[in-house]
A and B are shown apart, each in its own frame.
Chain A
């Protein structure tokens, strides 16, 4: 069954496409930022710069 979107189909498709694109950008930004921060923390720890608690900066416990 195909969905008929009528004479304004382009407006409907553009709305959904824009939402998908913006959400994808948000997800990509969050994931890349996480990767970048954990990478920088690992580099610092490899240079011997550690937290005062002595725990790894990416450690969760």
Chain B
């Protein structure tokens, strides 16, 4: 099935109905395995048991950027290819991305307090992720502020693509500036600096959270398609009511002029 086939919302709904239960089951299984492995992981020689926060914090931090990346591709789909489901995808992803970014900030803060001695520091990494979170909220507000979905889609797509500039800033902030946050230890030149006992549970949790995102995203897209159907049916109902009231007013006027003529 190609992207063009999925341009048909009805076909997309049929696909999500088939795929969602399997995705949900895979997410639950992988999350269970990941959580078990995270619980069994040894303490770090420096951080002790607080290293367990990494298994929640890092997948959420990765997803906060990944979701914006998905929204950026969807925005190109809206502006360049005019794919009918592109803006549905972007709109549905925003609240999920915001939730992951919020969790990345919160768990980072809870990890930072025992390790750095502070919940928050205005350094480049933390500040750029906070900006990402605010941009998610701004996009959600924009979608709500404009009634017409196609007009909102174009404005949101431009804002999303402009906001994508923040992604490399977040990624390389730890290399470009002197920050409290540690540099990349998994995706870096020369391979991961993490021991397998941490790396494997981390990767399992990352895949589990990615599957969670895909599941929630497809479900939220299905809801958005249904919301648009509600909107179009409501508009159809309103135009029918307006037409019938106009027709009733017209026939009353015609009756009145006939009566005048008869008199």
Binding site for B on A (CB under 8 A): 3-9, 11-12, 14-16, 18-19, 22-23, 25-27, 29-31, 33-34, 37-38, 40-41, 44-45, 47, 49-51, 55, 57-61
Complex Cα–Cα for A6 and B110 (A): 15
Residues in chain B near residue A59, CB distance under 8 A: 10
The smallest beta-carbon distance between B218 and chain A, in angstroms, is 10
Q: Are B216 and A26 in contact (CB under 8 A)?
A: yes
Number of B residues near A (Cβ < 8 Å) is 41
Complex Cα–Cα for A6 and B61 (A): 25
Main secondary structure of the interface of B (DSSP, over half): helix
Task: Give the residue among B17, B48, B52 with the most A Cβ atoms within 10 A.
Answer: B52
Complex interface bits, B103-127 against A, C-beta within 8 A gives 1, otherwise 0: 1001100110110000000000000
Q: Are B49 and A41 in contact (CB under 8 A)?
A: no
Q: Are B39 and A3 in contact (CB under 8 A)?
A: yes
Residues in chain B near residue A12, CB distance under 8 A: 49-50, 52-53
The smallest beta-carbon distance between A61 and chain B, in angstroms, is 6
Binding site for A on B (CB under 8 A): 10, 13-14, 17, 39, 43, 48-50, 52-53, 56-57, 60, 95-96, 99, 102-103, 106-107, 110-111, 113-114, 212, 216, 219-220, 222-223, 226-227, 229-230, 232-234, 236-237, 240
Residues in chain A near residue B230, CB distance under 8 A: 37, 40-41, 44, 57
Residues in chain B near residue A45, CB distance under 8 A: 233
The smallest beta-carbon distance between B254 and chain A, in angstroms, is 26
Main secondary structure of the interface of A (DSSP, over half): helix
Other than the given A25-B99, A57-B229, A57-B233, 19 more pairs (CB < 8 A) read A5-B52, A8-B49, A8-B114, A14-B110, A15-B110, A19-B107, A26-B216, A27-B216, A30-B223, A33-B223, A34-B219, A34-B223, A37-B227, A41-B226, A44-B230, A51-B229, A59-B10, A60-B10, A60-B17
